[in-house]
Amino acid sequence: MSDAPVGREEKTFEQLLEELEAMTRRMAAGDIGIEAAAELYERAGELHAEATERLARVQERIERLASDESGAASQSAAAEGGEPGTSDAVGRSRGAGERSSGG
């Protein structure tokens, strides 16, 4: 049987923070013994690590979505006949220069 608490994986980031805040308040109140405080401190470390990991995963997802959007914008510009990062004015001036040099 696993030592991991049941349902811990199901907690949201916000629930993890709420539990951490409750532990902090309980330890700050000073009405618990040293053994209970040590257990709370240890559990708080586990919750902090889990919350940090979840935050990192969400940040990676956001960055991936943002890069997917910028990639889609580049593909859209290419599909419209332009090059990503260039304006239509640049394309028009190139075409005008080619026509005038033909004489």
Mean pLDDT of 67-72: 82
Q: Is pLDDT above 50 for 2?
A: no
User: What pLDDT does 3 receive?
Assistant: 46
Burial letters 53-88, b for 16+ CB under 10 A, else e: eeeeeeeeeeeeeeeeeeeeeeeeeeeeeeeeeeee
User: What pLDDT does 29 receive?
Assistant: 92
Could you report the per-residue pLDDT of 24-49, keeping only the tens digit for each? 999 999 899 999 999 999 999 999 99
- Other C-beta atoms lying within 10 Å of the C-beta of residue 7: 7
Q: Domain extents for the chain?
A: 9-93
User: What pLDDT does 9 receive?
Assistant: 59
- Cα distance between residue 9 and residue 44, in whole Å: 15
DSSP element (H, E) containing 24: helix 13-29
Q: Which residue has better confidence, 87 or 76?
A: 76
Q: Is pLDDT above 90 for 83?
A: no
